[in-house]
Chains A and B, each alone.
Chain A
């Protein structure tokens, strides 16, 4: 796997000699004829905030449930901190899970819910009391200790659920769609709280989510899952800037694809002939691909320049603005090329102006550098 290092920080998953904290080895889960998880192998390191990202039915929740011990893998092994816990029941694993529905016990108070895990371990009462207070202070719910779950708001319940999992100081915390039940504003705020808390307690987090923005902003690394398999593992930057497959590129963010054939190399760039456009595109690539190889050129909308004046760039297309969306911080264009093909372009609205440079039905030039595009051969 190509690991492009991002920044100068030396984190454990970037050092080749660190042993993994959690090792998932060839795990398969079948339900009858249906294969929910199909041969997943992953290494996750200490103190990571790791995201399992994928659409519904991609197997991410089943994988999480196998880590928690609610499902037994049909094949494969799971090692945590060196010991095999493939067949350990949930109540014997140093792993806790935060459920999507939070699953707070309705007949217990907030303090009772948070203390539950410690009571099972027969921790002495004074220590339970001290640690419950500590955990509730961590999530800023101290004054709500005596309330019942139904007397709390959605965001408060989420924090009770978090405190309840954290209090046992698990080696691994699993979070199933932790922010899905919150509204957008609260979600953004909670997202940062979650990251702060994770740094504070130093526990390895594994988060399951279908929300790519959430995954991008939360995690140290992301595993994109598709039909029970891992499509790609990498840091958010790697996943976004260097997707290895068409699926990953399409799933994360929005992107334009042009199918074509490699014709040759000019310095750092490959030349790809794209029949739909009637021209050749220049794409920088370190991978050597033989001429005649079928490939796909992918360009993100924000990497394309749009202008009414001719552009001095290696890849230039010409078209007419068909659609224009104003999103406040961004403007999104759909440009119809001469061949009828639509291209998505977005620009940041850096100027405070009511006058747009480019408007509906304008004839425009689209252009990008050879380093802005990617060649996907899978």
Chain B
């Protein structure tokens, strides 16, 4: 019994080390005083200071945050509509196809998504003259197209577990359909919307491949700047930047996960109390 525990314990440690060792070393070396990335020269926060004095990085970071926020907002709006259509529209011809197509961007290789969007933007520009050139707008649109799929899946799973008679009860009590959506449906699925927003934001912040395809001159997101910097050799300030990104991303993931789990638990508790109340 004890031996098996030791085996499992070491497996666990090995797994964690494999997953988080590189990130941990990155975080540690971001506090390295030495200019050489692989030589420890004592503790220092000078690279963080230097990072905040680098206008290229600051601009790219602000751009990424802006794209991320706009993308997440649009993705939540469109993804919610898609999720509503799947769960509430009833059976329509090609519903399975629509559901499958909503989920397709989740598994589509990024290179293909990026390439196809680039072709689309180029064609659009030559046919209707919009979007003129590639830059922030095209990156944002590209990000919305794939992150709304994630939001749609999250919203759909929440909506399908929602009791349809709640909406009917509201209609019955005199609320018009639009009002029902605002005061009944939205508040109940709100945790899923927040989780979807955070997820879409993180996805946009992370993306390098698609952004590289559809970006134009003067519009470099943070991952693009980091990638080009590293090609000239890893400098310690990139470590500092990466540490900050890891912090932001893990915070977003933890918060969205916590929101989902909390609402799930609350629902389970409600169900159990309902059953207990009956017996």
Residues of A within 8 A of B (CB): 68-70, 89-91, 95-97, 99-101, 103, 105-107, 116-117, 120-121, 149-157, 164-165, 168, 181-183
Picked from B163, B172, B176, the residue with its CB within 8 Å of the CB of A96 is: B172
- Closest Cβ of chain A: how far from B259's Cβ, in Å? 15
A70 close to B168 (CB less than 8 A)? yes
Which B89-107 residues sit within 8 Å CB-CB of chain A?
none
User: B264 interface residue, CB < 8 Å from A?
Assistant: no
Residues on A with C-beta less than 8 A from B173 are 91, 96, 116-117, 120, 164-165, 168
Docked complex Cα distance between A11 and B253 (Å): 67
A103 close to B169 (CB less than 8 A)? yes
* B-side interface size class: 20 to 34
Given contacts A106-B188, A107-B188, contact A68 B277 (CB under 8 A): no
**28 residue pairs bridging A and B, Cβ less than 8 Å apart:** A68-B172, A69-B171, A70-B172, A90-B172, A91-B172, A91-B174, A91-B176, A97-B172, A99-B165, A99-B168, A101-B163, A103-B165, A103-B169, A105-B169, A106-B166, A116-B173, A117-B173, A120-B175, A149-B270, A150-B269, A150-B270, A150-B273, A156-B277, A157-B274, A164-B169, A182-B278, A183-B278, A183-B279
- Closest Cβ of chain B: how far from A151's Cβ, in Å? 8
Residues on B with C-beta less than 8 A from A181 are 278
User: B252 interface residue, CB < 8 Å from A?
Assistant: no
Docked complex Cα distance between A153 and B187 (Å): 24
User: B179 interface residue, CB < 8 Å from A?
Assistant: yes
Residues on A with C-beta less than 8 A from B176 are 91
Kindly report which residue of chain B lies nearest to residue A176, judged by CB atoms.
B165
Residues on B with C-beta less than 8 A from A70 are 168, 171-172
| A-B contacts besides A70-B168, A168-B174, A181-B278, 14 pairs, CB < 8 Å | A68-B168, A68-B172, A70-B171, A90-B168, A91-B174, A99-B169, A103-B165, A103-B168, A105-B166, A105-B188, A116-B173, A150-B273, A151-B273, A154-B274
Given contacts A91-B175, A105-B184, A106-B270, contact A154 B278 (CB under 8 A): yes
Residues on B with C-beta less than 8 A from A117 are 173-174
Residues on A with C-beta less than 8 A from B273 are 150-151
Docked complex Cα distance between A70 and B164 (Å): 12
A105 close to B277 (CB less than 8 A)? no
Docked complex Cα distance between A241 and B165 (Å): 38
Question: Counting chain B CB atoms within 10 Å of each CB, which of A89, A99, A106 scores highest?
Answer: A106
Question: Counting chain B CB atoms within 10 Å of each CB, which of A90, A96, A151, A165 scores highest?
Answer: A90
Kindly report which residue of chain A lies nearest to residue B190, judged by CB atoms.
A107
Residues on A with C-beta less than 8 A from B171 are 69-70, 89-91
Residues on B with C-beta less than 8 A from A103 are 163, 165-166, 168-169
Docked complex Cα distance between A90 and B172 (Å): 5
> Please, what's the 1-or-0 string for B148-172, where 1 marks a CB less than 8 Å from any CB in chain A?
0000000000000001011011111
Docked complex Cα distance between A68 and B167 (Å): 13
> Please, what's the 1-or-0 string for B175-195, where 1 marks a CB less than 8 Å from any CB in chain A?
110010000100110000000
Residues on A with C-beta less than 8 A from B166 are 103, 105-106
B168 close to A150 (CB less than 8 A)? no
Residues on B with C-beta less than 8 A from A90 are 168, 171-172
Residues on B with C-beta less than 8 A from A157 are 274, 277
Docked complex Cα distance between A206 and B166 (Å): 20
Residues on B with C-beta less than 8 A from A101 are 163, 165
- Closest Cβ of chain A: how far from B78's Cβ, in Å? 24
Docked complex Cα distance between A156 and B276 (Å): 13
Residues on A with C-beta less than 8 A from B188 are 105-107
Picked from A107, A120, A153, the residue with its CB within 8 Å of the CB of B277 is: A153
Kindly report which residue of chain B lies nearest to residue A120, judged by CB atoms.
B174
Docked complex Cα distance between A107 and B185 (Å): 10
Residues on A with C-beta less than 8 A from B269 are 150
Docked complex Cα distance between A343 and B170 (Å): 51
- Closest Cβ of chain B: how far from A80's Cβ, in Å? 15
Docked complex Cα distance between A150 and B184 (Å): 16
- Closest Cβ of chain A: how far from B144's Cβ, in Å? 29
Kindly report which residue of chain B lies nearest to residue A186, judged by CB atoms.
B278
Residues on A with C-beta less than 8 A from B170 are 105, 116
B174 close to A107 (CB less than 8 A)? no
Residues on A with C-beta less than 8 A from B172 are 68-70, 90-91, 95-97
Docked complex Cα distance between A210 and B278 (Å): 19
Docked complex Cα distance between A362 and B128 (Å): 98
A97 close to B278 (CB less than 8 A)? no
Which B236-277 residues sit within 8 Å CB-CB of chain A?
266, 269-270, 273-274, 277
Docked complex Cα distance between A156 and B274 (Å): 11
Docked complex Cα distance between A328 and B87 (Å): 51
- Closest Cβ of chain B: how far from A91's Cβ, in Å? 5
Docked complex Cα distance between A150 and B277 (Å): 10
- Closest Cβ of chain B: how far from A34's Cβ, in Å? 14
Docked complex Cα distance between A121 and B174 (Å): 7
Which B116-151 residues sit within 8 Å CB-CB of chain A?
none
Docked complex Cα distance between A163 and B253 (Å): 42
B163 close to A154 (CB less than 8 A)? no
Nearest 6 A/B pairs, CB to CB: A120-B174, A117-B173, A154-B277, A103-B169, A153-B277, A150-B270
